[in-house]
Amino acid sequence: MLSSLQRQILGAINSAAGLSRTELAQVCGMSKAAIGGVVREMIDAGYLHESETVNGPGQGRPSVRLMLRPEGAYFIGVSLLQTPAQMALINLQGEIIARAGFTLSREPEALAQNIAHALPDLLEGHTDAAARLIGMGVTLSGFIDENQSTCVQSALLGWRDVPLASLVAAATGLEVFIENDAKALAVSEKRFGQARDLDTFTLVSHGAGIGSAHFIAGRLHRGLHGGAGEIAHCTLELNGTPCRCGKRGCLDTIASLNAIMEMAREENLGLSSLAELEQLASGGSAAAIRILHRAGTALGLAIAQLIQILDPSLILIAHQAGAFGGLLGTVVQQSIETNVLPGFAGLTPVRTFPIDEDTWVRAAASIAAHRFLDGPDNP
Ligand SMILES: [Zn+2]
C-alpha cells in the first residue's frame, strides 16, 4: 500500500509525463532533500526510473527526469459493453500487454465466475505482471454508486442494486472497482490519453448510447450518488419519444446510434449502418439529412449546455470509427456554436476521436490505475 505522499508523487509524474526532483519538490511543497529520500525508495521499489538528462533554462545544472516505470504496476480491465466481454492487462503507462475474451452473463454470480475463469488465460506468460498486479476495474453501461462498488441500475444488463465489485473480488481475490463506461473513458484520457495535463475537461461518448463525464479541478466529478454527468437521459424534447429509462424525449432517443438507426427504419430507408445513412444524405436524401440534422442538433445542444454549466477547457467526443466524418459531425459542431452563449462561442475546443477495440478495456483498467495513482475521487 502506498502512502499518500507516494501516491501524490506517482500522480504528479503521470500527469506531467515526467518531472525532475526539483519540479517534484515544488509540486509536493517539500524540500528537494526530503523528496529525494522518498524518490529513492520508490526507485528501489520499482515504481520510478530515471530518464534522460534535461538541461534547465539558462545556466542551470542538468537534471534527471523521473518517469513512471511501465513495469512498476499492472492492472486488469474488464469491459461488459460487448459480447463476448473483453478483458485486458495494462501496465503503469496504460499500454495493453495481453487480452482475453469471455462469455458475458447477465447473472452477476455467473459473470463473476466467468471473469475468474478467464484470468489464467490473460496472465499466461506474464508472471512478472501477475506478481505486480494491483487490481481490476470493470466498466459497464449503467449508473454506479459513489463507492464504485454497486451497479445501481443498468438497462443494458437488466440490473438493479447489484454489488458487482464484491462478487468479482470474492471470485478473483483481487481488489475490484466498477465504473460507468463514459466515466472510465474520461479517467483513461486523464491518466493515459489526451487530457493528462488538463484539470477540467468533459468527455462525451457517442455510440449505441450516449454518455458523458467531467473532470473538475483534477478530480472525476461523480456527484453525491455517483450519477453526475449523465446527459443521455436529459430531456431534449418535451413529451418526445418514450425512452428505455422510463422518461420521454431524452437525448438518447434522438441522437444515439440506436435512435438514429431506429429513425432510419421508421423512414423505410433500408440500410444497416450510419455510413450508409451518411451516404444517402450526401446523395441528397431529404429523410437521411433530416435524421442526421435532428440527431446532430440535439447532441450539439446538449454539449452547449455542458459548456455553459461547466466551462471546461476541452470537450472530447469519443465516437465509433467514421461516425463524425460526415453530416452528423458537422451539424454537432454547428449546433454547439449556435447554442452556446455568444460570449462563450468558440472558446472551448472540441476534439473528436474514434473508439477502437482497446478503448473500453483500457478505460476499465484505468479505473484501477487511477485509484492506485490518486486514491478515491470521493475520499
Ligand atoms: Zn432516458
Residue 344: pLDDT above 90?
no
Q: In three state form, how does the secondary structure of 277-338 look?
A: HHHHHHCCCHHHHHHHHHHHHHHHHHHHHHHHHHCCCCEEEEEECCCCCCHHHHHHHHHHHH
Question: Mind listing the pLDDT tens digit for each residue in 263-278?
Answer: 999 999 989 999 999 9
Question: Mind listing the pLDDT tens digit for each residue in 1-41?
Answer: 788 889 889 988 988 888 999 999 999 999 989 999 999 99
Residue 251 · residue 294 · CB < 8 Å: no
Question: Mind listing the pLDDT tens digit for each residue in 135-149?
Answer: 999 999 999 998 999
What dotted CATH number matches 196-355? 3.30.420.40
Question: Mind listing the pLDDT tens digit for each residue in 191-223?
Answer: 999 999 999 999 999 999 999 999 999 899 988
73-188+359-374 topology per CATH: Nucleotidyltransferase; domain 5 (3.30.420)
Query: 241 CA to middle of ligand 1, Å?
Result: 9
4-68: in CATH 1.10.10.10:
yes
Query: 254 CA to middle of ligand 1, Å?
Result: 10
Q: Per-domain residue ranges for the chain?
A: 4-68, 73-188+359-374, 196-355
Residue 311: pLDDT above 50?
yes
**Are 4-68 and 73-188+359-374 in the same CATH fold?**
no
Picking from 259, 345, 263, 262, the residue whose alpha carbon sits closest to that of residue 299 is: 259
Query: 335 CA to middle of ligand 1, Å?
Result: 21
Query: 35 CA to middle of ligand 1, Å?
Result: 50
Mean pLDDT across the chain: 92
- pLDDT level of residue 54 (50, 70, 90 thresholds): low
Residue 14 · residue 27 · CB < 8 Å: no
